Amino acid sequence: MRTANRPPAFWLFPVGLGMALGLSAVPGEWPLYVILAVSTAILGLPHGSLDSAVAKRHLPLNGRLQMLGFYVGYLALGGMVLAFWWQAPNVALVAFLLYSAFHFADDIAVRIGQLGGTAYGLWVLSLPVGLHPEQVTPLFEMLGATQAAQLVAVAPYTLALSGAVLAVCLILRPQRATSDWRDPLLLAFGAMLLHPLAYFIAYWCFLHSPRHLELAARDLGLYGWRERLKAIAPITLATYALALGALPFLIDLPSETALMRIVFIGLAVLTVPHMVLELIASPRRTP
């Protein structure tokens, strides 16, 4: 995604971080699970809900039949991710973390390069795992991982490596924006103080998602909130319906585990076709 020197949502992330700090003061973990689900549904999901509009703009799709083929392919990719997670949750979780890091690179890669962007993505993901392994391990287990402790044990190494690479790339790139060094520092501050779920809410819902949504909407020429809501509504509502449809299959699980799986496995399912579309559409965007 393209961006200006000062990217969108410049001040929104510090505000979200402050709200997450207040959220962490609420006793017990159950409110975190509820707020995670609600905030992801309202603030997190819509940034991928412009995918059908992106496909119409940048892919050679003529007529309803070809659009139907796009939707079938999109859902098929997501279904493959879900089936793979069902069969091999440990590998699927590792893959999800890795391709999420590559996807989060879009936040800053246009200014500091793909290597620096990927280091940034790994930094985002490694911080809560490396700083709070005792809290992240049960969260990974809720997602079906049977080797959560081994996965968590790698985080200090990825945290050190990504931090070093990111620092070098920031130093070497004079076109960096203020937020490119400010946000990693705020993320580190937040990760130290916040529960990992509150940290995720702050990053996902107040930095990555609104920034990505704003850039995608500008690319599509959608500047008013009414036309943006009209554009994201169909896929967002369809996603809500699919999430509700998954509930009967999770009814025997503890409620917090069911919410975790709906949110994070759901995001894994949606991220793969979203990234594939971005890889195809990005070279076709005019500079």
Tokens of 279: 């890889």
SS3 state at 61? coil
103 labeled binding residue? yes
pLDDT at residue 5 is higher than 90: no
Helix, strand, coil: what percent of the chain each, to 5? 80, 0, 20
Those residues with Cβ within 8 angstroms of residue 83's Cβ, 6 or more apart along the chain or in another chain: none
- Reduced to 3 states, what is the DSSP secondary structure of residue 114? helix
Check whether 47 is labelled as a binding-site residue: yes
Model confidence, pTM: 0.89
Count of helices and strands (H, E) across the chain: 15, 0
Domain spans, the chain: 67-282
Q: Write out pLDDT tens, residues 142-158.
A: 999 999 999 999 999 99
Q: Which residues contact 266 (CB under 8 A, 6 or more apart)?
A: 239, 242, 243, 246
d(CA 140, CA 89): 10
Q: Average pLDDT, whole number, for the chain?
A: 89
> Under a CB-based contact definition with an 8 Å cutoff, are residues 159 and 166 in contact?
no
Residue 3 has pLDDT above 60, yes or no: no
**Gap between the Cα atoms of 5 and 111, Å rounded:** 8
Six token digits for residue 84: 């793979």
Average pLDDT on 43-53 reads 81
Residue 2: its pLDDT value, please?
A: 43
151 in Cβ contact with 98 (< 8 Å)? no
Kindly tell me the sign of the dihedral angle through the C-alpha atoms of 21, 37, 222, 58.
Answer: positive
Annotated binding residue at 274?
Answer: no
> 29 — phi, psi (to 5°)?
-95, -20
Q: What is each CA distance from 251 to 218, 255, 259, 262, in whole angstroms?
A: 41, 8, 11, 12
Checking 197-200 for CB contacts under 8 A at 24+ apart, the result is: 197/29, 197/32, 197/33, 197/36, 197/139, 198/20, 198/21, 198/23, 198/24, 198/32, 199/20, 199/127, 199/128, 200/36, 200/128
* pLDDT, position 82: 92
pLDDT in tens, 258-269: 999 999 999 999
pLDDT band at 231 (very low <50, low <70, confident <90, very high): confident
Non-local (6+) Cβ contacts of 227 within 8 A are none
Tens-place pLDDT, residues 56-75: 888 888 888 998 999 899 98
Residue 104's pLDDT band, with cuts at 50, 70 and 90, is very high
Question: How many angstroms separate the CA atoms of 249 and 169, rounded?
Answer: 45
Phi, psi of 132 (to 5 degrees): -135, 60
